[in-house]
Chain A
Amino acid sequence: MRQITFILALWGFFHPAWGQSTTLSGTVSEASTGESVPSAMVVVKSAAGTWSAATNPYGFYSLTLPAGKGYTLAVTMIGYAPFTFNVGTLSAARKVDISLSEEATQLGEVEVVSERLNSNVTTTEMSVSSLTAKEIKKVPQLLGETDIIRTLTLLPGVSTVGEGASGFNVRGGNADQNLILLDEAPVYNSSHLFGFFSIFNADAVKDVKLFKGGMPANYGGRLSSVLDVRQKEGNAQKFAGTGGIGLLSSRLLLEGPIIQDKVNFMVAGRRSYFDLFFPYFNSPELDNTTIYFYDLNIKVNAKLSEKDRVFVSSYFGRDQFGASDLFDFGWGNWTSTLRWNRLISPKLFFNATTVYSDYTYQLGTPKDADPAFIWDSRIQNYVSNVGWTWYANAAHTVDFGVQNTAYVFHPGQISGVFSLELQKEYATEPALYFSDDWRITDVLTATYGLRYSTFFNVGARDIQNYSNPNNPTDLESTGLTAYGPGEIIASFTGLAGLEPRLALNYQVGPKASLKASYNRSRQYLHLISNNTTATPVNIWRPAGKFIAPATVDQVALGWAQNYGESGVRLGIEVYYKEFQDLLDYKDGADLIFTEFIETQLLRGDGRAYGAEFLLEKKTGALTGWLGYTLSRTERIVDGGTRETRINNGEWYPANYDKLHDLNLVANWSINKAWEVGGNFAYQSGRPITYPDSRAEFEGMYFPVYTNRNGARTPASHRLDLSATYTLGTKKPKKAWESSLAFGAYNVYGRRNPYSIFFRADFSQPTNVQAYRLSIFGSVIPYFTYNFTF
């Protein structure tokens, strides 16, 4: 008992200064739509002191305060007008729900504004990028398609292999090391059209948060980042719509109350129609060619009582690519989320979520072709999360919960001219987490936590055994072992599953703070991809008997500084990451339809380090940011033999290692009618492998490579510009509002090198020419008509 008392005292849960305390809690929502507002700063003041808290992802806040009088409450959030409320006397628990209005041109009370702008200084959060849909829509976009992921790559620490590449890389992590959540549902392919666009319809998105480090303990399963995308809940006040008609695609969102103040909905859809132009190209092959994507977002939320709220949301998206009766290729995500929030008490918030996520792809001939050949693959997830937030007192906010994800992997099934199915794989990933947001002193805060994850790879499945399990090869197979349904093939438990998380904030004055964080993360899934960029047909495989889970340790140190009342913020962070048990591939690895994939893999480690600078202006007519990243990302693969080494077992730069990455994003609201924007991006060349010499095989010449990623492409840069003209601003507010958005991507037509490669003239094989591949070879204009009603 003495130990328990000691531990509780250590946590500071019994604050000696407290007399009688009470709780002020409630929700923060948007006045015009009723949408909850996450991450809003709630600040309560009285003569006795100042207390603050941020709203949780569902807009809920809770503050434990000493009973007393003269309390005032202020709520601030960038993009909204500050809200102040005279609470008066607090003698018992009280609920205050707040509605925020969108920001008017005039800023409010200077002190309140200052608190809003300084939220980055007061929070322990670091290595986090938060964007609202409104901010994302201001950035000039490729073909006018508002693209969340492309916008994120303009932030420090986030990059891609190159233009058109699928996925993104965060602080030296592979694209498969990003946990992408849409309403808590994992998304396995975040791209449409092979990576040109993201699957997120910005109209349907409320809030985007990217954790590059210092991850809260409730997130796990990926090494490098968490991209948490929350869909809109639907307008609770009135029926409304938003849409746009563009050159590439059109979109429409409808939202409104089903039962006033009880149930509301949101439904949004997009469809591209590039292929509809093909008949005009007078090419018989194009006549029957299809290439399009569509997606559908649905969300319904119901307020069952003052304490209970239920959300049901779903996403369904699909890409389809086909040519006459030659081939058919399709892929897509389907996610469904059922979530229940309950306010157990003013101090205890409960959330239970169950998720189904399904990523599938098909490749082959059309079903009625002769001979037909269809290859199906999919990964299914069943996620269950139960979590609590306990607002213990003014010093502690504790999160804890239990999570489990069950996986079913279908690596491949062929039907048609012949039938074949690779064995399914089954796995489950249970985890526990705990974290405490601890205000140690007025200037020192800490968020510490622990996540404990385990992983079980289970049957039914036949496993191939090898004479050398450290370097499995088909030639050294020693037979199969059959595992029955549910029988454990490999388990990952014990201390290695502990993932400590720590973030510290030391406030140096009202406008500056020093931050530090450490986190360990573990990843039990690997995307099996030996391409420069991932493709939709790459498959995911779990850790198992021959594939170890990957681990990363990251430390980061940061400085946050705000200047004046103009909303100018400076953030500087340095980080160092060490990766263990990353996958690489044997030379010439055959990854397609390989039953025992471990025979094609190599094990390696990695490291990444860098410095990130972000100067941003969040308010006023001119907004934007200047971001710069100086970084290195390296890998090492040394399995002990020539076949299991890369570059003689020495460190080499990863595919996406770029020393310099500079982005300038600016948006200027000239007046009510006109808004202009631009962004300039510069990146050092990425690593590339050049041949050292030329060899020959029976009259065919081929390149000899000995130094992977030993050279670099030239640097890339481009300028994008946009303008938005809002129609009818001189007339009174109307039911139908519209705007014209136009601009250009890659304004000066820079041919940025995606890669340098060589091509021989096969009629004269010693005649070899070097080529530069550019994904976008010219300026790309766009035009979109947007509307709301």
Chain B
Amino acid sequence: MRTPRSLFLWTAAASLAWVSCQDPIDLTLPDGETRLIVNGSVGDSTPVYADLSWSVNYLSEDPNPAVEDATVVLFENGLPVDTLVHIAGGHYAGQFRATYAQSYHIQVQIAENGTLPFGTWRSAPEALGRCNPFDSVYSAFVPRAPFVREGYYVYAHWSEAPGPGDTYRARVWRNDTLENAPFNLQVFDDGFLDGRSNNGIDLPEIEVAGPDSVGVTFTLEIGSIPLGLYSYLQLLREQTLQVGGLFDAPPAPIVGNIYREGAPEDYALGYFYPSARRKVSWTITP
């Protein structure tokens, strides 16, 4: 027999069971216009590369088809400095490395071949920014607390270069595997930390990862990125993670800096950017 208290709770729970629900549904989406996708980068410590592919139906279970017969050229300050070579699966690589404050763009040429788009595309010129090296890295044991799980965490100390207008991207590898889902996308600007230090005194230290086990190695990379890529990645994260809810932003095109030559309104997808990358690694020890 239900007690008055349990009856009240049952009634309350039944009455308040109005939480939203999400049901999987079957849906067919039409094929949109096929567009070229160009993703690439040139670093001051890593050579230039570019990955070329075609867009496909959003619900396709196949990978995006690679573009293997393109001509890809890197430009520095408007002058060609390297021609990239196709390695495999639409991946093109070169030898050139970037220099601070110089401007870079690539040009992609695709010859006519059936029904796929052809012509010349180029990226908008972007200058290489700056990025300080890490000050230190370490791990520490953190006890359980509300909303904090107990275990070993990896932290890093890093100082931002003085002077406003810098934007960065952070990436993390766990035992050499890049954590590369949209929710791993981390970009930040120096709006609130210009010239300051994440050293646990001036500002809180950077929490790289955790909690995790002893013996696991984490690598953190912070790389300078252009302001355009900063906005692009924020939008990409928003459009892949925060969708469909009451307070989510409406769907929006994620357009990078690749355009058909002579027709800036006709864009390709993806982004080419210079980046000064700094890395640090740490293996968790007791």
Contacts and interface: CB of A to CB of B under 8 A. Distances in A.
Interface string A509-541: 000000000000000000000111101000000
Nearest to A775: B20
B254 A702 contact: yes
B180 interface: yes
Nearest to A645: B265
Q: Provide the main secondary structure of the chain B interface.
A: loop
A361 interface: no
B247 A700 contact: no
B62 A766 contact: yes
B55 A530 contact: no
Interface stretch (A47-55, A559-567, A748-756): A748-756
B3 interface: no
Contacts of A773: 20-22, 244-245
Given A247-B16, A780-B17, A758 B58 contact: yes
B83 to A, nearest CB: 22
A531 B244 contact: no
A695 B254 contact: yes
Given A533-B246, A700-B181, A704-B253, A694 B147 contact: no
B271 interface: yes
Given A165-B246, A767-B61, A277 B12 contact: yes
A703 B29 CA distance: 12
Interface string A758-786: 11101001111111111111101111000
Contact of B231 (A535, A588, A772, A776): A588
A693 B35 contact: yes
A248 interface: yes
Contacts of A417: 203-204
A533 B9 CA distance: 32
Nearest to A705: B251
Contacts, number: 239
Nearest to B228: A475
B286 interface: no
B264 A706 contact: no
A689 interface: yes
A724 B270 CA distance: 61
Contacts of A143: 15-16, 18
B11 A754 contact: no
B245 A755 contact: yes
B17 A695 contact: no
A701 B181 CA distance: 9
A690 interface: yes
Interface in B233-248: 233-236, 238-240, 243-248
A36 B264 CA distance: 66
Nearest to A769: B24
B146 interface: yes
B255 A587 contact: yes
A532 B21 contact: no
A708 B253 CA distance: 9
Contact of B53 (A274, A696, A770): A696
B60 A697 contact: no
Nearest to B20: A775
B250 A689 contact: yes
Interface string B46-65: 00000101011111111110
Contact of A777 (B21, B31, B254): B21
A702 B192 contact: no
B180 A274 contact: no
B112 interface: no
A642 B247 contact: no
B227 to A, nearest CB: 7
Contacts of B178: 699
Contacts of A429: none
Contacts of A775: 18, 20, 246
Interface stretch (A257-265, A280-288, A403-411, A495-503): A280-288
A768 B58 contact: yes
Contacts of A589: 249
B32 A700 contact: no
Given A695-B37, A776-B20, A285 B146 contact: yes
A638 interface: no
- Among B30, B37, B51, B251: residue with most chain A CB under 10 A: B251
B250 A702 contact: no
Nearest to B37: A695
Contact of A703 (B35, B58, B227): B58
> Size class of B's contact patch?
35 or more
Contacts of A755: 244-245
B61 A277 contact: no
Contacts of B96: none
Contacts of A323: 147
Contacts of B23: 751, 771-772, 774
A768 B59 contact: yes
A706 B61 contact: no
B147 A285 contact: yes
Nearest to B235: A588
B12 A247 contact: yes
Contacts of A274: 16
B252 A588 contact: yes
Contacts of A770: 24-27, 59
A691 interface: yes
A194 interface: yes
A304 to B, nearest CB: 48
B269 interface: yes
B19 interface: yes
B260 to A, nearest CB: 12
Contact of B33 (A535, A706, A759, A776): A706
Nearest to B171: A698
Nearest to B265: A642
A690 B243 CA distance: 11
Nearest to B34: A693
Contact of A754 (B59, B236, B246, B251): B246
Contacts of A760: 240
A691 B251 CA distance: 8
A590 interface: yes
Contacts of A655: 250
Given A693-B32, A703-B239, A756 B27 contact: yes
A588 B25 CA distance: 28
A698 B39 contact: yes
Given A418-B192, A695-B37, A776-B18, A642 B264 contact: yes
Contacts of B234: 588, 590
B267 interface: yes
A781 B13 CA distance: 10
- Among B12, B51, B238: residue with most chain A CB under 10 A: B12
B14 interface: yes
Contact of B147 (A194, A326, A768): A326
Interface string B197-232: 000000110000000000000000000000100011
B270 A697 contact: yes
Contacts of A759: 243
A769 B24 CA distance: 7
Given A694-B56, A751-B23, A762-B182, A771 B64 contact: no
Contacts of B240: 700-703, 760
Given A697-B39, A767-B61, A775-B20, A757 B244 contact: yes
A-B pairs, 7 with minimum CB distance: A692-B32, A757-B244, A588-B235, A777-B21, A762-B181, A691-B58, A689-B251
Interface of A: 142-143, 162, 164-165, 194-195, 247-248, 274, 277, 280, 284-285, 288, 323-326, 371, 417-418, 420, 474-475, 530-533, 535, 587-590, 641-642, 655, 689-706, 708, 751, 754-760, 762, 765-778, 780-783
Given A280-B9, A655-B250, 18 more contacts: A277-B16, A285-B147, A532-B245, A532-B246, A588-B232, A691-B29, A693-B56, A700-B181, A702-B236, A705-B251, A757-B245, A762-B182, A765-B181, A766-B63, A770-B24, A770-B27, A773-B21, A777-B21
15 contacts: A324-B147, A326-B147, A530-B249, A530-B250, A532-B245, A532-B248, A533-B247, A689-B250, A690-B58, A693-B32, A693-B34, A695-B254, A757-B245, A766-B61, A766-B62
